[in-house]
């Protein structure tokens, strides 16, 4: 049985369209107006969902915590992680307003909780699902806490190896909540192509028998398209209105024009992938007569001649006997004279 995964009113399974998440993250820069513009732009670009991050800076990092390398490269070098994150934080009331605004725009709202209180808050405002960051994969207690909320949840797998993911899978097998999925992910911003490791998607599908997705951190969207061809049913891509805006993630995000192009190409790929069952379509059925071949005599033959293999050829169009009917005519005697390239007919043989 092929697995399925449900987020809100969207059921993701073998035959469903790819579920596409615009990862707004902290690209709102702490500005509600910018956050709403991101929602509008994501919907217009074709995203099914837009995702933010819910955290309280003081509960996420200690004072004087150094920034990651990519953060130092894209933000003020004189500030620590806490100072940076405080400028990117939204309050609870902001998220209440954003989830309402998403409903008016008919786009699904998701957010990544960073602490237990964030999980409780998002559950209280009735988010349809949780998205866990890669750092949570090594926090079994946190994953267990989220799973017990009995809502769908997605788990990114950056900064982990196969054994780490399998450990979490074994943990989740004991949970009643089976509505979860793993996303292949490599944690850096941006990553190089050689770091994407997309074949893991195939490994995860075979190993876990779950819906598998891909959370992309490359600087363009080629990896997202490739992931879909490998069977990823969920794509998460960082999204910004402007790559030149200040902040840690804008430069590794794609803009609305690029996101729209990505969505269109994913939908084209879905059409190209078609069905896993080999069938003839109506155009092929129509073309068969003119492209396939029938059996003909390759020379003039006299009445009474016993047909041998070197007396026949296959030629278009497909009229009368087919090449696979050859055994029906070899060794048979011709009832009357036949002309070169005339069709072989069973009625003319004995």
CATH number of the domain located at residue range(s) 5-273 in this protein: 3.20.20.70
Count of CB atoms within 10 A of residue 117's CB?
A: 14
- Among 51-55, 59-63, 192-196, 238-242, where is mean pLDDT lowest? 59-63
What is the pLDDT, as a whole number, of residue 67? 75
The pTM for the full model equals 0.90
pLDDT in tens, 267-301: 999 999 998 899 999 999 999 999 999 999 999 99
Q: Mean pLDDT throughout 2-11?
A: 88
Q: Mean pLDDT throughout 303-321?
A: 95
- Find the helix or strand (DSSP H, E) in which 231 lies: none
pLDDT in tens, 204-238: 999 999 999 999 999 999 999 999 999 999 999 99
Count of CB atoms within 10 A of residue 45's CB?
A: 22
pLDDT in tens, 132-184: 999 999 999 999 999 999 999 999 999 999 999 999 999 999 999 999 999 99
pLDDT tier at 1, thresholds 50, 70, 90? low
pLDDT tier at 77, thresholds 50, 70, 90? confident
Considering the four listed CATH numbers 3.90.1210.10, 3.30.70.240, 3.40.50.620, 3.30.420.40, the one that applies to the domain covering 282-348 is 3.90.1210.10
111 — phi, psi (to 5°)? -150, 150
Question: What residue ranges do the domains of the chain occupy?
Answer: 5-273, 282-348
Quick one: tokens of 263?
């969505």
What is the pLDDT, as a whole number, of residue 2? 67
Count of CB atoms within 10 A of residue 167's CB?
A: 15
């Amino acid at each position: 049985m092929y697995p399925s995964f449900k987020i809100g009113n969207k059921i993701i399974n073998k035959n469903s369209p790819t579920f596409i998440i615009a990862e707004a993250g902290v690209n709102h820069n702490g500005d509600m107006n910018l956050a709403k513009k991101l929602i509008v732009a994501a919907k217009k670009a074709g995203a099914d969902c837009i995702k933010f991050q819910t955290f309280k800076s003081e509960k996420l990092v200690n004072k004087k915590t150094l920034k990651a390398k990519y953060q130092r490269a894209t933000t003020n070098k004189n500030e620590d992680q806490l100072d940076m994150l405080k400028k990117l934080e939204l309050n609870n009331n902001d998220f209440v307003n954003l989830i309402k605004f998403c409903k008016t725009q008919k786009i699904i709202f998701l957010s990544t909780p960073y602490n237990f209180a964030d999980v409780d808050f998002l559950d209280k405002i009735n988010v349809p699902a949780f998205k866990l960051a890669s750092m949570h994969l090594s926090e079994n207690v946190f994953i267990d806490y989220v799973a017990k909320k009995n809502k769908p949840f997605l788990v990114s797998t950056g900064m982990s190896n196969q054994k780490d993911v399998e450990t979490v899978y074994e943990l989740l097998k004991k949970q009643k909540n089976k509505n979860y999925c793993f996303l292949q992910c490599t944690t850096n911003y941006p990553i190089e192509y050689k770091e994407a490791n997309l074949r893991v998607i195939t490994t995860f599908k075979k190993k876990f028998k779950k819906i598998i997705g891909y959370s992309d951190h490359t600087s363009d969207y080629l990896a997202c398209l490739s992931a879909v061809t490998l069977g990823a049913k969920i794509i998460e891509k960082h999204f910004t209105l402007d790559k030149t805006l200040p902040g840690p993630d804008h430069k590794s995000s794609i803009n609305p024009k690029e996101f729209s192009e990505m969505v269109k190409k994913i939908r084209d790929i879905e059409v190209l992938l078609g069905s896993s069952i080999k069938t003839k379509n109506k155009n092929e059925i129509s073309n068969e007569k003119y492209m396939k071949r029938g059996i003909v005599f390759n020379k003039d033959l006299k009445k009474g001649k016993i047909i041998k293999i070197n007396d026949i050829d296959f030629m278009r169009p497909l009229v009368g006997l087919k090449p696979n009917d050859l055994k029906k005519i070899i060794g048979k005697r011709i009832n009357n004279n036949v002309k070169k390239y005339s069709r072989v007919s069973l009625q003319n043989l004995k």
